[in-house]
Amino acid sequence: MASPVSDSKIYKYHVANLRSLEIALQNTSLSARKSISEENNPATASFVRLFAFLIGAWTENRLKKLLFEDTGFGGQDRERVLNQGTQLEQWTKAVELAFRKHYKVPKAPLSEATLTFTSNARYLSLIGLLDKDLRLIIEVRNKLAHGQWIYPFNSNGDGIEQEKYKLLNLENLPSLQYKFSLISNLADIVQDLVVSVPTFERDFDIHFKQISNTKNNLKNRKYENYEKMLIDKRKRGIQKRKINKA
């Protein structure tokens, strides 16, 4: 039987996995942009779903890396996170335990009674971000991993999850890139909270400003404009090459 691997080695393995996933995300994004510019809709749809799957995989590994930070969660808290049933519940529990550790609230409910007004507002903002903005991207990975790229089935396999179907088919490359930015900033905030109290206090507003800007872009940027920009850029490139050859 193989010997147990040390926490420090497990941490390094998660770091390596994240780096590899980030390379895959970058290359999938480039491929999606190319297919959009070529107006190849079937290829674009496939690359968008692959990008969504990779974000879900990155999100899972980012949490694992966070759990094995040297000065972060202890073994007991790590188990409490990993014992949660879903990725969304694990992230939610990680945020909760991070606040408990930072503000020394071991058991009582987290509220304005046990936290300052500011810290409670921060806690609710992060929980709300997970639930409202990132639920789909965290939960949909398993559907995509099982080949349910167009029609996500329910757990019994005898019907379609209509909400996920609608949301998944509304996603596009820019919307997923914005959501990847959101989960990245959230992970950085939670890491600061667990690993470095001074860094958390110093950088929270910077991170949350980035989150607010990203959410505004997610809401207001039109995919049609993005699509037209890429198509026009490709056409200009073709025309320029023709002129240079003439």
Residue-wise pLDDT tens digits, 29-88: 999 999 999 999 999 999 999 999 999 999 999 999 999 988 778 889 999 999 998 889
Number of structural domains the chain divides into: 1
Q: What is the pLDDT of residue 165?
A: 87
Is residue 71 included in any domain, yes or no? yes
Is residue 1 included in any domain, yes or no? no
> What range does the domain containing 139 cover?
7-245
Q: What is the mean pLDDT of each run of 10 residues along the chain (246 residues)?
A: 79 96 98 97 95 93 91 86 92 92 91 93 92 82 87 90 85 94 90 84 90 92 95 92 80
Is residue 123 included in any domain, yes or no? yes
Interatomic CA distance for residues 162 and 149, integer angstroms: 13
Is residue 41 included in any domain, yes or no? yes
Residue-wise pLDDT tens digits, 76-101: 999 999 999 888 999 999 999 999 98
Q: What angle do CA 129, 114, 87 make, to 5 degrees?
A: 35
Is residue 103 included in any domain, yes or no? yes
10 Å Cβ neighbour count for 131?
12
